[in-house]
Each structure stands twice: as structure tokens, then as C-alpha cells.
Amino acid sequence: MADDGKMSSVVKASADDARSYWLDEGRAPGGYIREVDFVSNSRGVDPLFEGIKIVDCDTHFTEPKDLWTANAPAGLKDKMPRVERIDGADQWYVGDKHFGSIGGNVIAKDKNKLLGRLAFQNYDQIDPGSYEVAPRLAAMDAMGVWAQICFQNGGVTQAGSLVALNDEPLAISITQIFNDACADRMKASGGRINCMGTLPYWDKDIMNAEMRRIVDLGVKGIVLPDRPERLSEGYIGPDGQVSPFWEEVFDICNSTGMPLNFHLNASLDANSAIWDNLGFDQRLPIHALIHHMGCAATMSNFMVSGILDKYPNLKIGLIESGAGWVPFVLEALEHQLDEFRTAENRGLKMRPKEYFAKHFWVSFWFESYAPKHMLDEIGMDRLLFETDYPHPTSLYPGVQDKLVDVLGGYDYKTRKRILQDNAFELYNLEF
């Protein structure tokens, strides 16, 4: 049984969720331009990886400025999300409500890279590969990447802000147009660009209908909230059992093999751990580290909840997660669960290391130590590769050089497993 009378620690979703998406400070003029020798860094696939279809498992596809207005149903075009340029910065609006900036875009139209900021200010400044299919494919070819898994960039699909519109037909239409675009990009790219779907998390029946529609569209995965209590109901109800609100979503993913994705998890309040009076460039690196630990928290919640016993075929991608924390967290969980007799008390069927080996995948990009020296502990079949293009901290330029350094010491079978096979299995990709 769940503990009775426990107060929730979650901060409820609100109308400001999207407005605060991508801080104004992060796209202020300034920063440092790193000049990139694009030609020398655009050599395609290194000979070490010849014949491997490299899958980049964390990138972001910036929503085109006309995505919603060009695809609006009759009578809704004037209500749809639109971009307004304010003091040189492109920002999303729905009616009179501010939905934040266009997202993290640090790759310039001239292929140089912005450091010290989260993004350039507007579409005129950024690489068209951020928001158009053909230039994105060209960018992928230059990096030697065959396929990408893509997540949202702007904040238009933030569920709290959509609910605050107090216009459910509009909120549903915004969500559906986003998911339709995911399917359209996949088809237009020959299966190389795979954007993850989103759901109307605030209403069970509407959410389940859209979940079934996403499956029919052929979209390769969905993103779920790390703290669903912010929006509706938790994954676990007051009785300690799986909440009926989420049962159909889990049922569908369990039966179809569609993966759940938790992306650079925000379940932990990073601000609560960061000292006052630190500057922007001091706070943001710490934010990122805490969000990696948020992925560990979500993994741990699933492991102790019993969800993985009820749905034994669930596949869960912890994305932009990093990987070096995995051996320590699993070792710590095994010890702590033994000390508190969690498995015996709750009837859990597996140990944390067993749950991880069956249900979870993690991703690396900047890391060297973990993929070089901890692969046995993490699991060769649990590790994904990513670039985080076109976000700050993205592995750009020099993708192939990084892969040669990190994976060059392994045999071909291992390189293929990490760069291709794991992603194909998680996302059900097709050649």
C-alpha cells in the first residue's frame, strides 16, 4: 500500500511553462562565435564505421514558423501558434499568450557555432538544417549520421500552457498538427528523421485517442512527462498500483514495442541546489548535471514502482542522459533496496541491474571515460549515441573524430551494436 496522507512535492503545471522555455538570458546578444572548418569536418562516415548506419538518438527539430498556421483546420488558423519578432528575437505566441522562444539553436547559417548562449535569436541566423528536412539530411550526411531521433525545440507543446488556453479544441489541434509533422518528416526523409510524438497529457480519453492515432501514423516513439502529477495523475495511484489514467498508454507501448522517452529529465528542481548570485554561465552547467541525475531518478522510480513487472515489454529511452552514472546508481539501488527490503515488501520480481538490462537505454555524446572504460558495467546493448544537434553542448563539429576516439578501440561488432543496432531495436527502425 502507498503511504497515506503524504503531501505531493510536485509543482503543478501552469500557463507560464512555455513562456519560461529557453531563458531570455540565453538568447541575449553576445556570446562567442567558434569558427568551424566545415569542409574538413564534413567527411561523412569514417572508414572504421563503414557499413554501419549510425543513429543519432538525441537531436532537436526546430518547429518551422508556419507549422501550425499552414496546417490549421478550417476556422482555427487565426488562433494557431505564430512567430513574432520582438527586439530581434523570434518568439512563439498563441493569441496573446507568450509561448517562449524558438528553442536552442547554436549552429549558424554559415556553419559556425555559438558558445556561451542557448541560441541565436531568430530564424534568419540559424542553420536551415534545424527546421527543414532537406538541409537536415545534408547536415546528417556531413556528420556521417544515417538517422536521427528528434525531440521538440520550442515550447509550443508544453501541456500546462496549452491547458491554460482554456480552448481544448485548439490545444488538441496544436498537438495533432505536431504529431502529423513527425510522421510527415519521417516519410519525406525515407525514415531517417524520426521525431518523437507528444500527447495531451491532461485528459485520459483524449490522450488515449491520440496515442492510438500516433501508432497508426507510424511515429517511432513518444515523450512522457517525468512528473505526470504536474499535469494530471501520477503513474502510480494512491493505492500503490498503476494509475488507470495511464494504463492504456502503457498497454499500447507494452504490446507494440513503441518506446517511452524521458528527455534530459526535469523532475529535479535544479534551481533549489544552485547557489544564489551565480551568473548565467555558472548556473547552466550545473543545471545540466542535475537534469542528468533526474534521468537516474526517473529510472529508479520505475524500478521500485512495480510498473515494469506489470508491463514486462516496456522499452524506456533515457535521452540526453549521459551514461557514466549508471554503474554507481545501479550499485547504490541494489544496496539500498536490500537494506529497506523494498523488493520483499513490494513483491518486485527483479533486481535493479536486471530491470536496467531489460528495459532501459542511456545515451552519450561528450563522454569519453564511460564508453571507453565502463561498457561492461553499463551493458554493450544499453548504450546509445547522440549529438544533441543543434543545441548548446552539441557534438558539433567533429562527430566522426569523437567516435573514432571513443569507439575506435573496440571491434567492429561492438561499434555496430552501439551506433546502429541498439537504436534500431529501441525505436523499431527499418533499413
Q: Residue 313 gets which letter from DSSP?
A: T
How far is 141 from 204, CA to CA, in rounded Å? 41
pLDDT of 317 higher than 80: yes
Paired with 101 in beta bridges are 91
Average pLDDT over residues 29-58: 95
Say what the alpha-carbon torsion angle 45, 46, 47, 50 is, to the nearest 10 degrees: -30
- pLDDT digits over 350-397, tens only? 999 999 999 999 999 999 999 999 999 999 999 999 999 999 999 999
* Residue 9: predicted pLDDT: 65
Fold held by 16-31+40-78+128-427: TIM Barrel (3.20.20)
Mean pLDDT of the chain: 95
Beta strands in 275-411 (DSSP E): 316-319, 360-364, 383-385
DSSP states along 44-100: -S-GGGTT---EEEEEE-PPPTTTTTTTPPTTTGGGS-EEEEETTEEEEEETTEEEE
Percent of the chain with pLDDT over 70: 98
Q: What confidence tier does 1 reach under pLDDT thresholds 50, 70, 90?
A: very low
| Closest-CA residue to 206 (of 166, 227, 175, 228) | 175
Task: Judge whether residue 125 has pLDDT over 50.
Answer: yes
Specify the pLDDT at position 7.
59
pLDDT tens for 385-395 read 999 999 999 99
| Distance separating alpha carbons of residues 208 and 261, to the nearest angstrom | 17
Question: pTM above 0.85?
Answer: yes
Cβ pair 180, 216 in contact under 8 A: no
Cis peptide, bond prior to residue 390, ω within 30 of zero = yes
pLDDT tens digits, residue range 221-235? 999 999 999 889 999
pLDDT band for position 3 (50/70/90)? Answer: very low
Contact 316, 359 (CB under 8 A): yes
Residue 265 grid coordinates:
529529465
Q: Is the pLDDT of residue 266 over 70?
A: yes
| Range 260-270 average pLDDT | 85
Alpha-carbon gap, residue 196 to 224, rounded angstroms: 10
Q: Give the model's pLDDT for residue 131.
A: 98
pLDDT at 75 over 60: yes
Q: How confident is the model at residue 2 (pLDDT cuts 50, 70, 90)?
A: very low
